[in-house]
Amino acid sequence: MFGFLKKKAPVEFNETLYAVATGKLIPISEVNDPVFSQKMMGDGFAIIPATGEIYSPIAGEVLSVFQTKHAVGMKMANGLEILLHMGIDTVELNGEPFDIKVSEGSKVSQGSLIANVDLEAIVSAGKATDMVVVITNMDALKRFELSKTGQVSTGDEVGVAKA
C-alpha cells in the first residue's frame, strides 16, 4: 500500500573500468614493476598502447596531475580513487613525453582524452610504455574483477570493481 513501508532492495555497488587505449591489456600482476605487480598501490590492469592517445577509464573528477605529468589521479562519484600511471619509471623523464589535456578539478567522462603521449620518446629513453590503471583505495571494495585480457580497443569494458 505505502511504498515507504516496503524494504528497499540493497543497491549493488558495481563500477566498470574501461580501456584507456587501444593495445594489449595485461593483468596488473604482469606489469614489470613490483610496486604495481605486487599490488602495493592497489588492483587494476595495464595496457601496452598501440598509439599515444590515452583516455579516461572512468567518469569522475581529476584530483591531481603529477608535476612530472606521468600520472593523473581521479575519483569516481562513488568515492573510488583511480590512478592512471603512464609508463614505467617515466617520472625520470620530467614530463617531456606527456601532453596532458586535463587539469585538477576537471570533470571527465569515460573516454575523455587525458593525454597525448610520445611513445617513441619513452621507448628511446629505455622505459616501458605500460599505461597502468590502479584502484588506490581497495579497502572500499571487496575485489576487482578483470573481464578481458589481450587485444582491446579504447573504451572497451575491461573490469568491474565490486563492493
pLDDT band at 162 (very low <50, low <70, confident <90, very high): confident
* Structural domain contains residue 5: no
Residue 5 has pLDDT above 80, yes or no: no
What are residue 127's phi and psi, to 5 degrees? -110, 160
* Structural domain contains residue 2: no
Work out the average pLDDT over 132-158: 94
Give the residue numbers annotated as catalytic, written as ranges. 85
* Structural domain contains residue 7: no
Handedness of CA 89, 95, 96, 101 (dihedral sign): positive
The enclosing domain of 112 has a CATH number of 2.70.70.10
Percent of the chain with pLDDT over 70: 91
Work out the average pLDDT over 45-56: 98
- Give the pLDDT confidence of 52-79 residue by residue, as tens digits: 999 999 999 999 999 999 999 999 998 9
* Structural domain contains residue 59: yes
Percent of the chain with pLDDT over 90: 85
Predicted local distance difference test score (pLDDT) of residue 7: 52
Residue 155 has pLDDT above 60, yes or no: yes
Predicted local distance difference test score (pLDDT) of residue 140: 87
Query: Range of 26's domain?
Result: 12-162
Indicate the average pLDDT of the chain: 92
Average the pLDDT over each of 10-14, 74-78, 153-157 and give the range with the smallest value. 10-14
* Structural domain contains residue 148: yes
Hunting for cell 572497451 — which residue is that?
A: 156
Predicted local distance difference test score (pLDDT) of residue 1: 47
**C-alpha separations of 160 from 1, 12, 51, 133, 145 in Å:** 37, 12, 24, 12, 5
* Structural domain contains residue 4: no
* Structural domain contains residue 152: yes
* Structural domain contains residue 149: yes
Residue 13 has pLDDT above 90, yes or no: no
Cα 9 from Cα 33, distance rounded (Å): 42
Domain count, the chain: 1
